[in-house]
A and B are shown apart, each in its own frame.
Chain A
Amino acid sequence: MKPREIAVPRMIADELGTCGFFEIEPDPVWACLIEPAEGADTCVVFCNPLLEERINAHPYFVYFARLLARAGISALRFDYPGTGESSPIQDVRPVTAYASDADNVIGAVRSRGRYSRVGVFGCASASLIVARLQAEIDFAILWEPVLDNELFARNLFRANILQQQTVFGEIVADSSSLQEVLARGGTFSIEGHEITKALVDSLTAWESQGRPFNSAVPGLVVALQRRTFARLEASNKNQALSVVLAESGGAFWSTALAKYLPLPLDCMKASLDWLERWAR
């Protein structure tokens, strides 16, 4: 596919933001806040996706946060406790636990930040967390959200099996063996992330499509695959939710990793345009 040429703005030093540990209860979390010099009345809280997607998404998140600041919007990135540089180290927790962490951060931003509008942003598996937020949000922006949580859970097992094939050249433990490991209270690894039964259960026990999709929260979903776009268009019950298809298309991470900057810029532009329209 021929890549699209998008002008990449150069960043300036004051867009680095304030990085450090965000003092919230019960433990401080690693966070980075970028604010426009003239102040802002809107803040976007970035919700990280799960597992290695969080690390792979980091450059895009930094970039998008800077673009938001340039557009007059504050952006707060943070690591959920137990991930990144937020302590303590622990195995992958249930999705509800991450949603609760995000609720804490959004609550602190609302009470201390004096913003009139607070929204959330997430990509890929972050949608699983955004969908379970309890905190009050004014808008949500999602890129290529996970729509089928059970498929996502099954893919965790597949990812481990694929890893076994790569490393050992054969399947050492199949899906049912991995299920047994989890049932015994053990974990299995995906790219070094220890998957727990609590995570798998929290995914399979999911009943609704989540708030951004069926409540009145205004939002934007940027679909990168035609399949996602079609499915969202067909099932969208939220009148305030806009669904757009990024022109680049293709599978999210493989395309993003192969092309690096062009794909996220496509999504970023769509998100900024939507925010501008919505603010008006």
Chain B
Amino acid sequence: MAGAMGALKELIRPGTESCRYYRHRGAGAMVYYPQDPPAKRLGLFLFNSGHKYRTGPHDLYVKMARELCADGLFVITLDSPELGDGFRDFADRTIAGHQKRIVRGAYVSAALSALRYYRETLELDAVIVSGLCGGTVTGIVAAARSRLVEGVVAWGCPFQIPGMPILGLEESAASEGEAQQTTRPVARPGSRLKRLLVGKIDWSHHWARAVKRLYALRGRNPSFNYRLAGHLEILFGRRLPVIFVFSEHDPHYARFKTFYRPWLEAKRADFDLDGVTRVIRGTNHVVAGRASVEELNEIFRQFCREFLKS
């Protein structure tokens, strides 16, 4: 099929006056620029949440980015390498499998690479990381592993701490509707015999089950906990500004209050958790409501203002 080539391509420009599309190591990102950048260039990285690509659920990241860049912030909405217009193909067969990989830090190295690249490219002086749910997990772990990050907004964070009752993967999913979907058994192609014969055995599944049994025998949390609480401790130790943002009806907020708060209080009695916890009205995990989105933007704005002052 020989024919037209390139003519249409010329009509596609990488950016407009307020935003520009970048690609780093195959992963796409949209950068929203302030019209009048302040002396101290502050970048807010929003890592993609779960299986939604860089615009976030109901384009929430885009709505936030356009509001926040008007206040002088560089907002970078990032795709993980497998999502969006990225390079690799989606590796997971289910949402549950994808969530599991996120909380085990599958995208942290890509996030760190992106942080380095965009910090240099955009000449940022400081960086704050955030993202909804899985995006926050990636942000927290990246912040704990690297000094490139100066602040964290832990937003809808799916807490899992040592000793926490086994809740199963479905509770880590974003909403009740999604949770119902993730409780379906993970489908693997072919029969056991066929897989054995052709050598296509998913060893990670067997390994995970063996480790779970081992942990259960020792009376500990068999959920592999992804050491999120430990990573946060590193951030607290470094006196890095961290705030927690939850929706009032977010199931993760209930878990945060029930499990994380007493756990942290037992460890660090002097830490004012209430002082760094923000709760937005109504709605649910994905911040579905205009008033709540405005509240959320205000929280980010305030955090960035205080950050710049400090």
Q: Do A and B come from one complex?
A: yes
Report which A residues bind B (CB closer than 8 A). Answer: 3-5, 8, 10-11, 13, 16-24, 28, 31-33, 35-36, 38-43, 51-52, 55-56, 58-59, 62-63, 72-74, 76, 83-85, 87, 89, 108-109, 112-116, 162-163, 166-168, 187, 189-194, 254, 257-262
Please name 22 pairs of A and B residues whose Cβ atoms are closer than 8 Å in the assembled complex, sorted by A: A3-B187, A31-B12, A33-B8, A35-B5, A39-B5, A41-B1, A41-B4, A52-B58, A59-B51, A59-B83, A85-B19, A85-B62, A112-B8, A115-B4, A116-B3, A163-B284, A166-B284, A167-B284, A191-B58, A192-B293, A194-B290, A260-B94
The interface residues of chain B lying within 8 Å CB-to-CB of A23 are 11-13
Inter-subunit contact A192/B84 (CB<8 Å):
no
Inter-subunit contact B14/A258 (CB<8 Å):
no
Report which B residues bind A (CB closer than 8 A). Answer: 1-9, 11-16, 18-19, 21, 23, 26, 28, 30, 51-53, 55, 57-60, 62-63, 66, 83-90, 92-95, 175-177, 181, 184, 187-190, 249, 282-284, 286-290, 293
Q: Contacts A39-B1, A42-B1 given: A89-B9 contact, CB under 8 Å?
A: no
Minimum Cβ distance to chain A for residue B274 (Å): 24
Inter-subunit contact A192/B4 (CB<8 Å):
no
The interface residues of chain A lying within 8 Å CB-to-CB of B15 are 20-21
Residue of B nearest to A168 (CB): B249
Minimum Cβ distance to chain A for residue B191 (Å): 9
Inter-subunit contact B30/A85 (CB<8 Å):
yes
Contact of A192 among B30, B66, B287 (CB under 8 A): B287
Contact of A38 among B1, B94, B284 (CB under 8 A): B1
A72 to B18, CA, bound (A): 35
Residue of B nearest to A15 (CB): B87
A167 to B248, CA, bound (A): 10
Inter-subunit contact B95/A59 (CB<8 Å):
no
Minimum Cβ distance to chain A for residue B164 (Å): 23
Inter-subunit contact A108/B2 (CB<8 Å):
no
Inter-subunit contact B92/A28 (CB<8 Å):
no
The interface residues of chain A lying within 8 Å CB-to-CB of B7 are 112-114
Inter-subunit contact A28/B95 (CB<8 Å):
no
Minimum Cβ distance to chain A for residue B168 (Å): 16
Inter-subunit contact B94/A85 (CB<8 Å):
no
A53 to B299, CA, bound (A): 29
A3 to B87, CA, bound (A): 26
Inter-subunit contact A58/B60 (CB<8 Å):
no
A189 to B177, CA, bound (A): 16
Inter-subunit contact B189/A41 (CB<8 Å):
no
The interface residues of chain B lying within 8 Å CB-to-CB of A5 are 189-190
Q: Contacts A20-B14, A55-B59, A84-B62 given: A41-B52 contact, CB under 8 Å?
A: no
The interface residues of chain B lying within 8 Å CB-to-CB of A114 are 3-4, 7
Dominant secondary structure of chain B at its interface with chain A: loop
Inter-subunit contact B11/A166 (CB<8 Å):
no
Task: For the complex of A and B, list the 4 residue pairs with the smallest distance between their C-beta atoms, beginning with the closest.
Answer: A192-B58, A41-B3, A114-B4, A39-B5
The interface residues of chain B lying within 8 Å CB-to-CB of A163 are 284, 288
Inter-subunit contact B3/A28 (CB<8 Å):
no
Q: Contacts A55-B57, A84-B62, A113-B8 given: A38-B2 contact, CB under 8 Å?
A: yes
Inter-subunit contact A16/B85 (CB<8 Å):
yes
A189 to B288, CA, bound (A): 7
Inter-subunit contact A35/B9 (CB<8 Å):
yes
The interface residues of chain A lying within 8 Å CB-to-CB of B289 are 189, 192
Q: Contacts A39-B5, A259-B94 given: A22-B11 contact, CB under 8 Å?
A: yes
Inter-subunit contact B1/A72 (CB<8 Å):
yes
A78 to B1, CA, bound (A): 24
Inter-subunit contact A167/B249 (CB<8 Å):
yes
The interface residues of chain A lying within 8 Å CB-to-CB of B92 are 260
Inter-subunit contact B53/A59 (CB<8 Å):
yes
A21 to B13, CA, bound (A): 5
With most chain B CB atoms within 10 A of its CB, the pick from A18, A76, A87, A167 is A167
Q: Contacts A189-B290, A193-B58, A260-B90 given: A21-B9 contact, CB under 8 Å?
A: no
Residue of B nearest to A2 (CB): B187
The interface residues of chain B lying within 8 Å CB-to-CB of A19 are 12, 14, 21, 23, 28, 85
The interface residues of chain B lying within 8 Å CB-to-CB of A24 are 11
Q: Contacts A16-B85, A20-B14, A167-B284 given: A36-B1 contact, CB under 8 Å?
A: yes
A56 to B175, CA, bound (A): 15
Residue of A nearest to B61 (CB): A85
Contact of B3 among A115, A187, A260 (CB under 8 A): A115
A259 to B87, CA, bound (A): 21
Residue of A nearest to B179 (CB): A166
Q: Contacts A84-B62, A166-B177, A192-B58 given: A28-B4 contact, CB under 8 Å?
A: no
A260 to B184, CA, bound (A): 13
The interface residues of chain B lying within 8 Å CB-to-CB of A51 are 58
Q: Contacts A55-B57, A85-B55 given: A259-B187 contact, CB under 8 Å?
A: yes
A35 to B6, CA, bound (A): 8
Inter-subunit contact B85/A62 (CB<8 Å):
yes
Q: Taking A18-B12, A19-B28, A166-B177 as given, write out 4 further A-B residue pairs in contact, using a Cβ cutoff of 8 Å, ordered by the A residue number.
A: A16-B26, A116-B3, A189-B290, A261-B90
